[in-house]
Chain A
Amino acid sequence: MTRIRFQQSLEELKEQLLVMAGLAEQSIQRAVEAYRVRDLSICNLVSISEMAINRLEREIDQAALDLLAMEQPMAVDLRFILSVIKINADLERVGDAAKSISDRVRSMEQMAQADLPVDIPRMAELAEEMVRKSLQSFIEGDADLARSILTMDDAVDAMNRAAYKALTKVMEEQSHLAPQALNALMISRALERVADHATNIAEDVIFWVQGDDVRHHKSLKTAPDPYIIE
């Protein structure tokens, strides 16, 4: 084994990203918990984590940039660093989504409780499972596990669509519940985004491990040529 220092640097980069992953995963769990028990002190923790995540995002990007510039990585190492950069951005967005949910929880504090036709805890459970599994696939370099996540996104998308339909109906028919319904809709949307980020992470793991670009595979065949589109 040669390039020992470079290999150590790659390990350190992975560890940094795992710290980031831990913070992002914890943030989304806390934001959902804050929603479930309506606890503003948990929202404060989410806000603090979000700042730490932002700081770490910059540090990881800098470390990855340094490795690209100094080591000129190739093949699996190059794919790994590219994936880290992209996963880093997705984790930062998961932190943003958690913050967004906790902001909604804060605003709900001023509102009367309402029984709304949306199962936020179930949706959160699925989104959290996707994040957990995608990060597990990253830790273990397991492309098969990563592939299993891609199909889970459809279920979360369907729940978000159903929430949109049901909650807009509430807004139309029970206007006094519109603020609560709007909040729930925004939380549903944030969770749907979290699931999208987990999907992106899984796709990046597949690219790192196997070199396959599986993004947008369903729509690519019918996509127009971007250089000649009007």
Chain B
Amino acid sequence: MGVSIEVTNLNAWYGTNHTLQEINLDIPANHATALIGPSGCGKSTFVRCLNRMHETNPIARVTGTVLIGGLDIYADAKPVEIRRRVGMVFQRPNPFPTMSIYDNVAAGLKLNGYSNHKVLDEIVEKSLKNSALWEEVKDELKKKSGASLSGGQQQRLCIARALAVDPEVLLMDEPASALDPVSTSKIEDLIFQLKSQYTIVIVTHNMQQAARVAEKTGFFLNGRMVEFDSTHKIFTNPSDKRTEDYITGRFG
């Protein structure tokens, strides 16, 4: 099941660049939450702070508190443990190119010490079913490589890979921006199904996509979160003039 995320006074830097400033945000469990804003506003940095990926850059720094399911991820947990609990899907699908479809999904499990083939088979099947890819690949699981799939299938493979380690949160950074409309629809349908089991945070430039899949939406601008409210409110009658100007295309 998904868990809630509580962010308090979060600040992030790249070198001297203060890229996130005083972010306070409660992301509800088992919902999809969209983050929107112009390029460079800090929304991708924000999601990278939710699984401690931001700090992998040597000049990056983070302060503040992030509680995921009540666990303080900067004080009480190791990054590897956090990344198991918080899966991530990137803009460009990045399957391991030489591995089979099966091995792509099982990779994270094997890293975590799973070796029982029966268990692995079950989890791979479940993950591919959850990512709506099973029916398309079930006959060639070990024959085809991840790289031989279409872009949309590769992205769903990456989602299956993220789901295989049974995370509580799924972060998606522009997961459909490199995909055609049909593949995009499949990813959006998938997000809709997955949020009953996971807490989903999706960064998107496509505002219609945010409106379609998310119950809550946050608008970031210049490293600050300007407004966070129900998606309905943000897209029909936002409270802040800057949000309205951005979503109506008056700047950005």
Chain B residues near A77 (CB-CB < 8 A): 248
Q: Is the CB of B208 within 8 A of A75?
A: no
Chain B residues near A75 (CB-CB < 8 A): 235-238, 243-244, 247-248
Q: Is the CB of A74 within 8 A of B247?
A: yes
Q: Does A76 contact B (CB under 8 A)?
A: yes
Find residues 203-252 in chain B having any chain A CB closer than 8 Å to their own CB: 207-208, 235-238, 243-244, 247-252
- Look across to chain A and name the residue whose beta carbon is closest to the beta carbon of B247: A74
Q: Is the CB of A6 within 8 A of B249?
A: yes
- Look across to chain A and name the residue whose beta carbon is closest to the beta carbon of B237: A211
Once A72-B208, A74-B207 are accepted as A-B contacts, the answer to whether A79 and B236 lie under 8 Å apart by CB is: yes
What's the least CB distance linking B117 to chain A, in Å? 49
Chain B residues near A220 (CB-CB < 8 A): none
B94-135 Cβ-contact flags toward A at 8 Å (1 or 0): 000000000000000000000000000000000000000000
Compute how far the CA of A2 lies from the CA of B243 in the bound complex, rounded to whole angstroms. 15
Looking at the complex, which one of B208, B244, B250 makes contact with A3 (CB distance below 8 Å)? B250
Q: Is the CB of B208 within 8 A of A76?
A: no
What's the least CB distance linking A204 to chain B, in Å? 14
Once A72-B208, A74-B207 are accepted as A-B contacts, the answer to whether A79 and B248 lie under 8 Å apart by CB is: no
Compute how far the CA of A78 lies from the CA of B236 in the bound complex, rounded to whole angstroms. 7
B144-156 Cβ-contact flags toward A at 8 Å (1 or 0): 0000000000000
Q: Does A121 contact B (CB under 8 A)?
A: no
Compute how far the CA of A22 lies from the CA of B236 in the bound complex, rounded to whole angstroms. 29
Number of interface residues of B (CB under 8 A): 14
Chain A residues near B249 (CB-CB < 8 A): 2-3, 6, 74
Q: Is the CB of A76 within 8 A of B251?
A: no
**Which of B236, B238, B244, B251: most chain A Cβ within 10 A?**
B236
Q: Is the CB of B252 within 8 A of A76?
A: no
Q: Does A73 contact B (CB under 8 A)?
A: yes
What's the least CB distance linking B218 to chain A, in Å? 16
A48-83 Cβ-contact flags toward B at 8 Å (1 or 0): 000000000000000000000000111111110000
Compute how far the CA of A6 lies from the CA of B236 in the bound complex, rounded to whole angstroms. 18
Find residues 73-96 in chain A having any chain B CB closer than 8 Å to their own CB: 73-79
Q: Does A1 contact B (CB under 8 A)?
A: yes
Compute how far the CA of A79 lies from the CA of B233 in the bound complex, rounded to whole angstroms. 12
Chain B residues near A76 (CB-CB < 8 A): 244, 248
Once A75-B235, A75-B236, A75-B238 are accepted as A-B contacts, the answer to whether A2 and B207 lie under 8 Å apart by CB is: no
What's the least CB distance linking B239 to chain A, in Å? 10
Once A74-B207, A74-B247, A75-B247 are accepted as A-B contacts, the answer to whether A2 and B237 lie under 8 Å apart by CB is: no
Find residues 179-217 in chain B having any chain A CB closer than 8 Å to their own CB: 207-208
Chain A residues near B244 (CB-CB < 8 A): 75-76
Chain B residues near A6 (CB-CB < 8 A): 249
- Look across to chain A and name the residue whose beta carbon is closest to the beta carbon of B251: A2
Compute how far the CA of A65 lies from the CA of B67 in the bound complex, rounded to whole angstroms. 45
Q: Is the CB of A2 within 8 A of B208?
A: no
Q: Is the CB of A1 within 8 A of B207?
A: no
- Look across to chain A and name the residue whose beta carbon is closest to the beta carbon of B207: A74
What's the least CB distance linking A85 to chain B, in Å? 15
What's the least CB distance linking A57 to chain B, in Å? 25
What's the least CB distance linking B211 to chain A, in Å? 8
Compute how far the CA of A6 lies from the CA of B248 in the bound complex, rounded to whole angstroms. 10
A74-B235, A75-B248 are known contacts; what are 4 more A-B pairs with Cβ within 8 Å?
Answer: A2-B249, A74-B207, A75-B235, A75-B244
Spell out A's residues near B (CB within 8 Å): 1-3, 6, 72-79, 211
Q: Can you pick out 24 interface pairs between chain A and chain B where the beta carbons lie within 8 Å of each other?
A: A1-B250, A1-B251, A2-B249, A2-B250, A2-B251, A3-B248, A3-B249, A6-B249, A72-B208, A73-B248, A74-B235, A74-B247, A74-B248, A74-B249, A75-B235, A75-B236, A75-B237, A75-B238, A75-B248, A77-B248, A78-B235, A78-B236, A79-B236, A211-B237
